[in-house]
Amino acid sequence: MLKVGIIGVGTVGTSVANILLDNKNIITARAGKEIVPTIGVVSNLSKKRDVSIKLTDNIDDILNDDSIDIVVELMGGIEKPYEIVKKALLKGKAVVTANKALLAYHRYELQELAGDIPFEFEAAVAGGIPIINALRDGLSANHIKSIQGIMNGTCNYMLTRMINDGVAYEDILKEAQELGYAEADPTFDVGGFDASHKLLILASIAYGIDVKPEDILIEGIQNITTADIEFAKEFEYSIKLLGITKKIGNEVGLRVHPVLIPQDKMIAKVDGVMNGISVIGDKVGETMFYGAGAGGDATASAVVANIIDIARRGKGSPMLGFENQPGEKITLMAKDDIQTKYYLRLEVADKSGTLAKIATILGNNSISIEAMLQKPLKDQSANLLLTTHICNEKDIIKAISQLENSGVILSKPAMIRIEE
């Protein structure tokens, strides 16, 4: 018998306890031993919860109980759970967590501290999609060439409604908050930070690279307008917030931002609150993973799967995918060195010479225009919508700065990267 203590009995923690009890027979058959949720930690004991396990507000009731074999950490945050998880590991307890922020900042310290103690985190990325095991085990024979992931259901729901139903950003944000998809302060989701934490976890497993969120390019969806949506539809693109890894030589680019992506790509078809992750290996080619990225039961399903894995074999795969350091040292590509195509939205004065000046600025920065569309606005102005051929990030950033000061641009230029 294995006894489980759950730190954080909220939506996911409640589902974990109930799945272990509701599906006890099939879980015991698959694990080879009985798994018993014994105790849960909550911050407010007076709040009614739909669980039958014992509850406490004292974390030490789990950490100091030698009969608890597995600690499930579902409290959220970074530094406080880090200290709690460290104590659990030092006491020899296996750990399962769904805490992406904890891993984004402390995954390598935790890997070293865990050693031969099982430490699993399938639910930290894309909820119920088994992407961690797929990347760590199923694709382990491959050099990973790239990853593209829709890993935030809130943003995907909002962008889907904006594209399919023409809803403005401010209106769909309010709707997402009312439905419970977005928090009162939605910055963590719509600003791309949630997706960045998940991307860094995948990047460590794919490449053995240790970087923090502050080291990579992160942009959110706050500046996407109906004009951008109209352009995307006219040119058969979809707009998605993607977490992207792209390996070139011994460098890997890591970035999170909105992307114009052709509608016929598999990942472009992932709509609503669903998540989807495309992984391209040098031998297997493209693989695609799709499913619910959040929600109590979906996330708890991944947590319980990790508990079953621990019951079966203790520590199985290396926590972050490598038993030894890879011979090839992979480093983070500088943000300025990213290369892709770009979409620009420029509000311009509708007068002669404007287009020539814009073309000159772009040309002087080694940027060539691939396609262009002009949409008239009121008061002798227009939206100039254009796409570029592949160019360097530093060149497009420099060009945008020069365009702002050119005298023909009436408001701050908008830019979205294109992935084809």
Residues assigned a catalytic role:
198
What's the rounded Cα separation, in Å, for the pair 227 and 168?
Answer: 10
Q: What is the DSSP string of 4-36?
A: EEEE--SHHHHHHHHHHHHTHHHHHHHHSS-EE
Largest Cα span, the chain: 80
Rounded (10°) CA dihedral 141, 145, 150, 151: 60
What's the rounded Cα separation, in Å, for the pair 339 and 9?
Answer: 44
Three-class SS of residue 168? coil
What's the rounded Cα separation, in Å, for the pair 229 and 86?
Answer: 46
What's the rounded Cα separation, in Å, for the pair 42 and 287?
Answer: 39
Q: Is the CB of residue 71 less than 8 Å from the CB of residue 62?
A: yes
Q: Is the CB of residue 100 less than 8 Å from the CB of residue 201?
A: yes
C-alpha count within 13 angstroms, C-beta hemisphere, residue 386: 19
